Structure 1
Amino acid sequence: MVQGFRQIARNEHLPARIAAQFAERIHRGDIKPGDKLPTEHALSQTFGVSRTVIREAIAQLRNEGLVETRQGIGAFVIERQARHIRLGDGGQMDKHAFTDLYQLRVPLEIEAAGLAALHRSDEQMQMLDAALAKMNSSIDWNTEGVAADLEFHRIIALATGNHYFDQFISAVADRVGHAIVTAREAIMFDEIMAITIEEHGAIRDAILTQDAHAARDAMRRHLKGSAHRVGLELEFFG
């Protein structure tokens, strides 16, 4: 199964590019439902990356609903009817298509934040805090930081209590993940870390106090800032 993959260039968002190669082969039928993915060691050798990168790539595939992981056994491809929504690879879109996709993210994420404030559980708050703490402590923001950022948004989608938010937001977030990397490469590390954590912290605080309006406003501010940092001109209302 490891034949046919290519090594990943160091200037790419490694987990996302590896996940994209697997997703392409799964959708082509080269890797079939029920097939077990190679071990982390084998994949790290194939792609020339660390096992941490491989784990994050598999986590992305799991979030997209393409694989499931079984403790102590490995990762397996899921039957097609059980899969989540998947969009085209964001790294291959032109600027107009990417802007449109990011625009779609705006109403979904804002509404999700408000609903999460109303319906979140104590366990989901603990999960949000863990994701925020991981963002704060990440050394490599192009791997650990991006994964924690996307996980933060996925937990908010889960906290809405509406599984369609989880499916759509996970699909969109996975495709725009490389833009987060671009933003972090464009400005100073300390600056982007402080901005990102401050914005996510405001969202977390509003959800904790179950203030739906404040949560929506905090998410809107974050999305505006995030879009600006990657050079996108989006339309915001309200």
Structure 2
Amino acid sequence: MSQSPTPISRTQHLPARIAGQFARQIQQGELKPGDRLPTENAMSKNFGVSRTVIREAIAQLRNEGMIETRQGVGAFVIDRPTRHIRLDDGAQMEGHDFRDLFQLRVPLEIEAAGLAATYHRPDHLRQMDEALVRMSATGENAEDGILADLDFHRTIAAATGNDYFVQFLGAVSDRILQTIVTSRERIRLDEIVAVVNREHVALRDAIAARDPTRARAAMRAHMAGSAARIALRLEFYS
């Protein structure tokens, strides 16, 4: 890295602000394809935040298609497509922000589920299964369940075969993370893990069955459940 990290304001959503700093360095060419990011431990010390915050920032960058993570090795900058969508305010979300988010997510993710049921490959199912295992954790690895949830949805977007779905989902990945965190603050962990996993298993099975209608219905039910868990009632018109 060519410069020291900028101090992070505690009034801002920390993972988004950290991801934003690295994103700017990537966009400005200070970090180039193939460059390795500092370790989680180093970033935690440099930014003065927990490793959980760093993992969420890395997950956001990964879902935005800016980096890839290699198990036991680290996170590396990757080549990005010329078209790229990024939201860069990093603000903490309030009630109307959640509603605005779901108004975008509902049509986007329902359509993605239907397309994923048609076009998915075996490796997409494997990635969903791996995410489901991680989402089931309620012990010391429970925090990873939040990132696994995001990975599950990104895999569905990738399974469409349409990069626009991946990019749009990546652009709101920080907001989705905030939604998951907020729901876990409202509901006892073991209860929310059980219900969310049921919804995700229904999605996975519908996609695996190559049934677009069933997959779309499962995603619609999941979107309604996700909204309800943060006290938001969705309106469907069809």
TM range (shorter): 0.7 to 0.9
In 2, are the aligned partners of 1:2 and 1:43 still within 8 Å (CA)?
no
Aligned mates of 1:141, 1:180 — CA distance in 2: 16
Q: Does 1:197 align with 2:194?
A: no
Conservation of the 8 A alpha-carbon contact between 1:66 and 1:84: no
Shift in CA distance, 120/91, structure 1 to aligned 2, threshold 3 Å: same
Match of 2:28 in 1: 32
Higher helix share: 1
- Partner of 1:75, secondary structure, is strand
- Deviation of 1:235 (Å): 1.8
Deviation at 1:46, TM superposition (A): 1.9
Post-superposition offset of 1:123: 1.2
Task: Say whether 1:75 aligns with 2:71.
Answer: no
Residues 211 and 171 (structure 1 numbering): CA distance in 2 closer, same or farther, change over 3 Å? same
Q: Distance in 1 between the 2:106 and 2:227 partners?
A: 10
Q: Contact 1:44–1:50 at 8 Å: present in 2 too?
A: yes
Is 1:110 the equivalent of 2:110? yes
Counterparts of 1:104 and 1:210, CA distance in 2: 25
- TM-score, normalising length: structure 2: 0.82
Q: Name the CA distance, whole Å, in 1 between partners of 2:220 and 2:64.
A: 24
User: Structure 2 CA distance, aligned partners of 1:146 and 1:34?
Assistant: 30
Alignment deviations for residues 110-147 of structure 1 (CA, whole Å, 9 cap, x no partner): 11101101111111111111111111135357731110
Q: Deviations over 1:177-222 (max 9, x none)?
A: 1111111111111110111000000000101111111110010000
Q: For structure 1, which runs of at least 5 residues remain unmatched after alignment? A: none
1:5 counterpart residue number: 7
Cα deviations across residues 137-165 of structure 1 (Å, max 9, x unaligned)? 35357731110000000000000111111
TM-score, normalization by structure 1: 0.82
How many residue pairs match? The answer is: 231
Which is worse superposed, 37-46 or 193-202?
37-46
* Partner-residue secondary structure (3-state), 1:235: coil
Query: Match of 2:17?
Result: 20
Q: Counterpart of 1:41?
A: 41
Q: Equivalent pairs: percent with the same residue? A: 50
Conserved 8 A contact 2:44-2:50? yes
Q: Retained in 1: the 8 A contact 2:8–2:14?
A: no
